[in-house]
Amino acid sequence: MEKLKVLITKAQIQKKVKELAESLSRDYSKNDYIILICNLKGAFIFLADLCRKIKVPLCIDFIATSSYEGTESTENVRIIKDLKMNIMGKDIIIVEDIVDTGYTLAYIIEYLKLHHPKSIKVCTLLDKKCKRKVEIPIDYTGFIIDNRFVVGYGLDYNERYRELEYIAELSR
Ligand code: IMP
Ligand code: MG
């Protein structure tokens, strides 16, 4: 039996998303426009809430990667959906749901660099810092969490639970 225990409430998420959007708006107030690159699928709800709170001009694009099998990360990151926009010379912010080992983000960053953006920053809702295998710079972090498997607010377990308005720990 899968069991859910609320870890981060809807109100806590909303407050944090607003704070992150304020930081981003402040940091990019002098820029032309920014491009938010959402790593699908997990970050789609975070992106939707975040972009509506950001006060600077922006564009949105999507990339999709795959590396997780069940509840475990693997090193074999693959791009399964590529960018549509030309990001050359642009200020990019990668929007992630969660950074675990870091393999996914490290791969995406290296991949995006090949397209010569002006800058790349990372905004993640959750950071499982204790599981990190590769060092990556994270510029905006929502919550640091322990080594728990979490679902909700976009995050899934075998494609389920993405629709929850809160983040819960899943145990089996
Ligand atoms: P990494 O490559 O190990 O950093 O894994 C990053 C990806 O694994 C994230 O973008 C998520 O899609 C997925 N992931 C990592 N931890 C969790 C979790 O606790 N719940 C759901 N998905 C997770
Ligand atoms: Mg993800």
pLDDT digits (tens, 9 = 90+) for 87-124: 999 999 999 999 999 999 999 999 999 999 999 999 99
The residue range of the domain holding 165 is 3-171
How many angstroms does the Cα of residue 23 sit away from the middle of ligand 2?
Answer: 22
What pLDDT, on the 0 to 100 scale, is given for residue 70? 65
pLDDT given for residue 7 in this prediction: 98
Total structural domains within the chain: 1
**CATH number for the domain including 108?**
3.40.50.2020
Written as six digits, the tokens of 84 are 């549509």
d(CA 47, CA 107): 20
Report whether pLDDT(80) > 90: yes
Assign residue 43 a region (left: φ > 0; alpha: ψ between -120 and 50; beta: otherwise): alpha
Dist CA 58 CA 81 (whole Å): 21
The alpha carbon of 98 and the centre of ligand 2 are apart by a number of angstroms equal to: 6
Any ligand 1 atom below 6 A from CB of 99:
yes
pLDDT band, residue 69 (cuts 50/70/90): low
Question: pTM surpassing 0.85?
Answer: yes
Atom number, ligand 1, closest to the C-alpha of residue 99: 4
Question: Over 70: is that where the pLDDT of 147 sits?
Answer: yes
Tokens of 100: 């675990």
What percentage of residues in the chain have a pLDDT greater than 70? 97
Higher pLDDT, 77 or 14: 14
